[in-house]
Chain A
Amino acid sequence: MEFESVIGLEVHAQLKTKTKIFCSCSTAFGSPPNTHTCPVCLGMPGVLPVLNKKVVDYTIRMALATNCEIERESRFARKNYFYPDLPKGYQISQYELPIARFGHIDIEVGDETKRIGITRIHMEEDAGKLTHDPDRPVSRVDFNRTGVPLMEIVSEPDIRTPEEAGAYLRKLRSIVRYIGVSDGNMEEGSFRCDANVSIMPKGSETFGTRAELKNLNSFKHVEKAIYYEIERQKEIIGDGGEVVQETRLWDPVKNVTTSMRSKEEAHDYRYFPDPDLLPLVVENEWIDAVKAELPELPDEKKDRFIKAFGLPSYDAEVLTSSRELADYFEDCLKVFPNAKPVSNWVMGSLLGLLNTEGKTIEDSPISAHDLGHLLKLIDEDVISGKIAKTVFDEMAKTGKPPKKIVEEKGLVQVTDVSAIEAVVAKVLERSPKEIEEYKGGKTKVLGFFVGQVMKETKGKANPKIVNEILRDKLG
């Protein structure tokens, strides 16, 4: 029997507001424990929450960027359960009436574009951090993170493969970073993902029982865990068993999912509207104001790059994968307005360099401005493409502008025809065997001659001229 898998993803993105969602404590990361707390986020007796308006602004932004319908009226609800990192014994979240619903984003998988639905987006507060002591039977609680605003984004179960899941997450992350509402960093915990995975016979319309996967700490792990889980479920069904609805933890060391089911009964969160917070009403004026400030979104930018610059879809996709990279590309174009070469160099040499050095585009050792000038030098025949690569590496190492490096290293291309003719003559004189081979039909030998001339001129001869002269001389 053939199966298809059904995957839904729940993402929690930390919003990068200055202060927490319900109190004025700082959201700054990495401070000593319990130094960003107050009676409100500590859940002391008698305290009350007051909503940070910016959290709503950011969530409206996200809703617009993901084509959601924004509810005119939404409510906050209490999700009740006991855990040491939850000071009030309940989390303030949204339940029956979330702020946004019925959205979608488009993802690229291979050559195909697929639309993934977004069921809902809502706001809630983060919990604190619990660390378990390895030696003693105690845990420590740090409430700095309690009350940091979270945006929960729930996808429709439209995802069918681990690759699609990865593409969805990457797109979602790029969006939150594009619109400046979250750092979207999985490793730092500002972008978290749980996956719901089930399988069903191919072509069926009834979804199978799903398992919820947790502890997925990177995009790679998400894909691996989903893949593992699909296979695990296939095996169970294949053996005639039934998949149990449960929460499973991904073990990134053993690369397996294990059941989290404890002796305790399933959670009954007893959601009810939070009486301490007023209903949230978002009128059209507010939405319009947020819309006006919305930056160009990844899909729009990609379309523009394709249309305005004539770039192929693949290039446009890569270049717009982050706002910073897209900005870099366009800054470079300001200096050298020829899209394809810029695209090639950015996607090739630059991203390669960043990858090797483990740097982000924001930390690029070569500025967009300088890269543009490098390309100008090639275009003006001042240096060859090959030499340019050397200059590029030197730029990365020293941070010097290309023109300076070319001057200092005397890399200016030789275009003096008579000078090149002299070198060509020299090379041909000492290579009679190869001339024979060439005249005999081995046209590939031309490359040997070119190579020799380049060697003699330390790579500075203009390759086009070298080729012309050689053909001329060889007939």
Chain B
Amino acid sequence: MKITKNEVIHVAALSRLDMNEESIDKFASQIGTILEYVDTLKQVDTEGVKPTSHAIFLTNAFREDEEKEHLDRENALANAPEKEDGNFVVPKVIA
């Protein structure tokens, strides 16, 4: 199944990526080829097969409800592109 231009645009929006016409076309073509290849999975009989989401068979990794060292604010904000009064600052969302 190839991917249509509109689908690329839709998915790009979902993942917050800008696309110009040229990129959309190029990606649609490249990704289409890849997805066509991926379609070979349809041939596999997976009736009754459980999906794997972990490569190991462990369960229940916990920690205790105890406070440990946190990051002091200066370090937390050190890499912030914009900050003010201990807050991270971002442009507003215009609905």
Contacts and interface: CB of A to CB of B under 8 A. Distances in A.
Contacts of A25: 67, 70
Contact of B65 (A17, A34, A265, A270): A17
B86 A18 contact: no
B21 interface: no
A50 B61 contact: yes
Interface residues of B, number: 35
Given A26-B70, A37-B76, A42-B76, A52 B54 contact: no
A134 B63 CA distance: 41
Interface in B56-73: 58-71, 73
26 contacts: A19-B65, A24-B67, A24-B69, A24-B70, A25-B67, A25-B70, A33-B73, A33-B86, A34-B77, A34-B88, A42-B76, A51-B61, A51-B63, A52-B64, A54-B64, A55-B65, A56-B62, A137-B91, A137-B94, A138-B90, A140-B85, A140-B90, A142-B87, A277-B61, A279-B59, A281-B59
A263 B13 CA distance: 12
Contacts of A272: 53
B16 interface: yes
B88 A141 contact: yes
A334 interface: no
A338 to B, nearest CB: 43
Contact of A34 (B63, B76, B91, B93): B76
A281 B93 CA distance: 40
Interface string A72-98: 010100000010100000000000000
Interface in B30-54: 53-54
A273 B68 CA distance: 28
B64 to A, nearest CB: 7
Residue from B67, B87, B90 whose CB has the most chain A CB atoms within 10 Å = B87
A25 B73 CA distance: 13
B87 A140 contact: yes
A276 B33 CA distance: 30
B89 interface: yes
B89 to A, nearest CB: 5
A265 B90 contact: no
B54 to A, nearest CB: 6
Contacts of B65: 17-19, 52-55
Nearest to A32: B86
Contact of B59 (A131, A138, A142, A280): A280
Contacts of A143: 76, 88
B60 A52 contact: no
Determine the main DSSP class of A at the interface with B: loop
Given A36-B70, A141-B87, 12 more contacts: A25-B67, A25-B70, A34-B77, A35-B73, A51-B61, A52-B64, A53-B65, A138-B89, A139-B91, A140-B84, A140-B85, A281-B59
A232 interface: no
A278 B88 contact: no
B23 to A, nearest CB: 20
A275 interface: yes
Contacts of A56: 62
B10 interface: yes
Interface string A155-198: 00000000000000000000000000000000000000000000
Nearest to B61: A278
Contact of B85 (A24, A33, A263, A270): A33
A84 B86 contact: no
B59 A52 contact: no
Contacts of B70: 24-26, 35-38
Contacts of B88: 34, 84, 140-143
A65 to B, nearest CB: 20
Contact of B53 (A53, A54, A273): A273
B90 to A, nearest CB: 5
A19 B73 CA distance: 18
Interface in A21-69: 24-26, 32-39, 42, 50-56
A375 to B, nearest CB: 42
A268 interface: yes
B25 to A, nearest CB: 22
A262 interface: yes
Contacts of B73: 32-35, 37
B14 to A, nearest CB: 6
A51 B62 contact: yes
A270 B10 CA distance: 14
B15 to A, nearest CB: 9
B87 A53 contact: no
A56 B64 CA distance: 11
Contacts of B63: 24, 50-53
Nearest to A36: B70
Contacts of A18: 65-67
A142 B71 CA distance: 14
Contact of A278 (B16, B54, B69): B54
A115 interface: no
A332 to B, nearest CB: 35
A265 B14 CA distance: 9
A33 B87 contact: yes
A138 to B, nearest CB: 5
B95 interface: yes
